[in-house]
Amino acid sequence: MSDKPDQGLLRAIGARSFPTCVIMDSQGKVILRNDTAGAFRPTSETRLRGSLQVVQELIDLRQAVKKDPGNQSSLGALKIVEAILEVQSTPIQQLDQLIELPGISDSLRQRYQRWRGVKPISKVLQDYVAIVRTIPRSDSAGRGREFQIAAGKMFELHRQGLELKDPRVGIYSDYWRLVFEGALTQKDLPVAQKAHQTYRKAFGSRPELKSRIDRMSVRIGQLKKSLEKDPAASQQDGGRR
């Protein structure tokens, strides 16, 4: 609608569709776009209050740094919170040093460690989305290849011990779908079964996901049959782990 203002705002804040909810600062810069349940939606008072509390922490730290620019604890805490909220990027090695500064609150240390634990998982998803956006929807083969690449990376992270256990985390579904796909490719039946069971437990009550979960069950059965025909494949995978 060319006669309406802010036509480019959705694209400017990095969004692609409606509804999109974000929290901006007084300069119009996005300071929160995701919470622990995924893309931010003020669907309940508890969820809104929790997000506003995080945002208030950012605002308070900005004011503290402005008041005392030489305070290393406040400056370090600000950089950490900005990294967690994806407001400002800081190398992870530097953040690991900043979190050890005296004066950093225990609550921020705990939040940083939770964020630090899932960052490699988020990176795989972000890289996958960035690449897929450049591939036309008509190129299903190209999109499929990128999905398999991402699945392989996520499977490796799972093998290394990086695992999402809280279904409220926004990337929980994507994580377990990719682990499942990677496990199928690697013929790792135990991990595939675990991913399937975890996904079904978290999302089995949602009618719109029933067909996906049913397909996962079918593919588990197909993997079992293929391993029964070729036990060496399973033994080889077991040795690799």
Q: What is the pLDDT of residues 164-181, one digit of tens each?
A: 887 867 788 999 999 999
Is residue 50 assigned to a domain?
Answer: yes
List pLDDT tens digits, range 181-228: 999 999 999 999 999 999 999 999 989 999 999 999 999 999 999 999
Taking every pair of Cα atoms in the chain, the longest distance, rounded to a whole number of angstroms, is 70
Is residue 170 within 8 Å of 37, Cβ to Cβ? Answer: yes
Pick the last residue of a domain from 70, 104, 138.
104
Taking all residues of the chain, what is their mean pLDDT, rounded to a whole number?
86
- pLDDT attached to residue 97: 96
Please tell me whether residues 33 and 127 are part of one structural domain: no
178-189: b or e for each residue (b if 16 or more CB lie within 10 Å)?
A: bbbbbbbebbbb
Q: Which residue has the higher pLDDT, 97 or 15?
A: 97
Segments forming the whole domain that contains residue 67: 9-104
Q: Are residues 96 and 126 in the same domain?
A: no
Question: In terms of domains, do 150 and 53 share one?
Answer: no
One domain, residues 134 and 216: yes
Are 77 and 53 in contact by the 8 Å Cβ rule? The answer is no
| Residue 237's pLDDT band (cuts 50, 70, 90) | low
Rounded Cα gap, residues 233 and 228, in angstroms: 9
Q: 183 with 73, same domain?
A: no
User: pLDDT grade, residue 37 (50/70/90)?
Assistant: low
Please give the backbone phi and psi of residue 23, each rounded to the nearest 5 degrees, phi first.
-115, 130
Q: Specify if 4 maps to a domain.
A: no
d(C-alpha 191, C-alpha 230), whole Å: 18
Q: Amino acid identity of 133?
A: R
Residues 18 and 56 in one domain: yes
* Domain co-membership, 178 together with 149: yes
47 and 128 share one domain: no
pTM of the model: 0.66
Same domain, 203 and 125: yes
Summarize the confidence of residues 65-71 as an average pLDDT: 95
Could you give the CA distance from residue 230 to residue 20 in angstroms, rounded to a whole number? 49
